[in-house]
Amino acid sequence: MSIVTPGVVPASVLLSEPAPEWLGRWTQFAADLRFEDLPDEVIARAKLVLLDSIGVIAAGMQEPEMAALVARLGARRTGKAAAIGAGQGLDARDAALVNGTAGTMLELDEGNQYARGHPAIHVVPALLALAAESDVSGPDLITALALGYEIGARIGIASRLKVTMHPHGTWGTVGAALGVAKLHGADAGEIGRSIGIASSLGLSTSRRTMLEGATVRNCYAGFSNQLGLTAWDLAQAGLMPERDGIGTVYGSVIADDFRPEAMVDELGSRWEIARNYFKRHAACRYTHGALDALMGIMEDAGGLNPENIEHIIVDTYVWAAQLDHPAPQTMLAAKFSLPFALASAIVRGQADVEAFRDAARADAVTQALAARVEVREDPALTAKLPGLRPARVTVMLKGNRQWTAEVLTNRGDTEDPYTAVEVEEKFRELAGPVWPAARLEAIAGAVASLDKAPTLAPLLDLLA
């Protein structure tokens, strides 16, 4: 070897490495997969994930930043793809951007605890945008969604993002690219080129954005969807990817410890979309264990009077313990503040969307209570990650009384899932202010029957 500096490998050595075996297996698997190959559980969950995503997108689209962004993009060019909940048709790439962004605005999009991220919101907007410009059936969409979700989630499982990275806008771009390629009827080679290119297109996402409440973070998923569409065009134009871009990027650039065996472990029999989670608390999922424990205390105590609370202690795992700032300055920062989330939930009775808005953050009683919340990491609870997300909450009242509750996992996780009816109720709650009741039920019905739909046109018309 002619290079003696540690860590630098000559090009002759790098370029002699063969393509990874897992990648060939994956591209062939994705190319060969038919809707008929999907288990019933996967089909049912994919439809539920789609409905949930539509609801959170439509609700998030009502935020003032989203209205302004849609207006700016719509003034430049319009198209057939719906900005869901905005009543505006956009170019497919613009629609993918705004829908992905809107879907994360309220911190209610679904996720996958094993992947440590949110696969669906990185895939659904791209697929719906593409479907608006091409002839797509319901089974086609479900198959593409299941595949895009699967590869994104598996990259999250197979690697560990740097602790300074936010997961949005990273491996989700590969998921979007695979879903788009599948809707185009791509063969294994085309899929390989698309996802290889997409692996180089992830964003440099800072974790501090969520802690500071920097709302640029909300557009990360939107860009993943837009770039997933772009990756297909780049591949079709003849641009070439790195031989193992996924392994390089998620093994040494933005993540470490890439384990290729995790990419193919039980491939085709264990589906990540079938072990996802749904959210009801409108806050970062790291707060949910403590919120669930608090809700149990509130139910047992018959409610809590903030004036009678002297102190609250939260013992939890490391990533939840990081969310200890008691005085958030924006709605997004409030959703990533355990002290504020608990205080607002006590004052309002629940951690819903309104619990994090300006009025809630300006409430003096809530502010004072948040300052009396102490958050601590318990290494024994951190050790239970990623399968469990534990928290222990102790509420100390005046007069030397206290309540304590502990949970091991979040409500809505695979271990304690919401029912399909509960997820459908969430959709109606979020989308109810956006659409008339009749349209709301028509959308829910169209998604429920998607596995038998020869075309996506009826659903897309309802979303337009």
C-alpha 154/C-alpha 156 separation (Å) is 5
Q: Which two tokens stand for residue 170?
A: 């990273």
Distance of CA 227 to the CA centre of its chain: 16
- What 3-state DSSP class applies to 45? helix
Q: Which two tokens stand for residue 292?
A: 């669930």
CB 463 within 8 A of CB 443: yes
C-alpha 99/C-alpha 226 separation (Å) is 10
Structure confidence at residue 1 (pLDDT): 52
C-alpha 119/C-alpha 176 separation (Å) is 9
Structure confidence at residue 17 (pLDDT): 80
Residues 6+ apart with CB under 8 A from 86: 61, 66, 67, 70, 98
Residues 6+ apart with CB under 8 A from 144: 123, 127, 178, 179, 180, 182, 183
Structure confidence at residue 2 (pLDDT): 78
Burial of 402 (0-12, 13-18, 19+ CB in 10 A): middle
Structure confidence at residue 105 (pLDDT): 98
Structure confidence at residue 284 (pLDDT): 96
In this prediction the pTM is: 0.95
Structure confidence at residue 386 (pLDDT): 86
Residues of the chain with pLDDT under 70: 1
Structure confidence at residue 354 (pLDDT): 96
Which alpha helices (DSSP H) does 282-393 contain, by range? 288-301, 318-321, 331-335, 338-348, 358-362, 364-370, 379-382
The conformation of residue 19, written as its DSSP 8-state character, comes to P
Structure confidence at residue 394 (pLDDT): 98
Residues 6+ apart with CB under 8 A from 238: none
Query: Whose CA is closest to 449, among 138, 129, 100, 96?
Result: 138
Structure confidence at residue 264 (pLDDT): 98
